[in-house]
Structure 1
């Protein structure tokens, strides 16, 4: 038997949680469905993988988030079918749920762009990804330490956007500051970090000043940059570039792009760039009433038709905006086009170093170095979900970034089928 709700939200990320919270406060009966029982803070997953933060700092129970909103029900299940016309979703256990409105905010998955061998890499877009990568990183280092045979260890990060830059920087800092203490200087001297991208600069959407600073800082930390040449093929022991360059690889991290996940692909809605839905200005899906597509599942534009970024802050604002449009629909009002407040971009580069471009468009204030680093810390503390998560992060970061004292303990081991 179908269960009926006013609004069904698929996805417990920034957009889905923001929409459900806003609707819940207005007494709307909401069902939120996600395959995981937690909301994850994706921008900090690389810190989980490199053992700078624990899982509890970046993941918060969805039921805890909605503890004070009894009209919002959380169901942990994988969505296997979507009927956008009926606003109905079906889950893997055979149950179906129907609503007056449907919000698809099901997030994204790694886009490998048909790169041969990409299945041996480690993407970094979920808590499971971060834990798996952290386990493999530990395994590679423990194996090399036991062998102690002088073999060089190479960590390759593919994709020089914010995720790739932050991951490469964190790996370089782990090698420079942590391994010497936790393992031995000898092991640290054998480790190398590579950052690869087909574009000629790191942080391609940032200003030239930020690109240059980030590139210089990464190089100073020992990251070897391979820019301007696409990846041709990936093997378990190397990455081959299209110009014939071979980079040895003990572990390969994929930060090369995202695409909409299978929920969107199976919705029957027309897909655009990255497999995402090109939504209307009011965030509704084209050609169907009462369906909204948000966050990494959507290609959203501003009033001038400019593409909006795939950022957590944008998804959060979109979730709140879609909820207000649903309330307007329900109460006989008029939907409004999404008015995104551009707060800029930022990326961590290393200890005490970051780049931040704060504010809208051409009026951005450009920061780099310690001041940008402090801005990065402040923004991420604010965006973290839950008071405990904020407290734990604030308690962890000073020790990590000032003293570099870090326990290199992981909670799982990589499965043998995925170990390079």
Structure 2
């Protein structure tokens, strides 16, 4: 009887685990064959036509990875054919998505845990086939963003952030660590984060700390050279004001937007000011965005930041402003060897060296006038319009 009871107990445990395990709560339908990327564009076309659209409210920017495009909405991540939008693979769970981003050449899907209090379950998906790769358990809250640049991916909330390498092993923790292995290793727990930027292998964060009279700029080097719970802080300096926004970080510079009147403060790797330049930006557009991540894009020579009404090009190395283009809806993207920027009338083809508009390609957005974030895949152009991704085909 004792043996029979133990057998029944083991069977019951196995059934409960099978019903409640992550595998049982997950639907994964990989693609049956590799996809094909669209052919590159030799030049900006005379016209664009809408090819397809899909809901993608969990992706703050267009997710272009592998040969296709990834959309994310509700509880489901879908890999789509870049040209037709046809579903090629699907990954869904029984809990909401927090956010999705491209990183390490994969689609990174961050889900809530069972309690709904954390965005803790991160899965890497092959962008072509949708097969699952590494996973990780994070300690960020809902509202967190995933940032990726080069070989670094960061998950950042309002009081905690962590970085990871390509196998999703954590390389650095910073802020309010939930269960520190050794207490006392965090320099400023309890501060809130208002603005973040990643670049040049460095992660910059604007902190609001109660003892400080102004915002604080802290730059971390998440290279994984030490213990993950002991952050490698390269610099931390108090700024002259509150309500500042971190626009960009390079290998040895940081660009900070100061309020009233708007000025771009450029700092070196020691936190010393090396430039202070007035910007033609409305004061209402100085404050950092609600999700702490500015609307930026980059090519090999420049970083492009969108203030809310203007696109400003910064030199990629020194971060000094190069040109300003008004009347824009987003920072733009590289296309056919040049730069294109969304404007009310459509897509402006811009000289990336001078910021002059060479011509405008009409695009009918059906009355939508909000922020437009662009990405290109071959000759296809993608617009993130709020919670929807719209694909444009060159004509």
Q: TM-score, normalised by structure 1?
A: 0.26
Higher normalized contact order (CA 8 Å, seq sep 6+, divided by chain length): 1
Greater strand content: 2
Greater helix content: 1
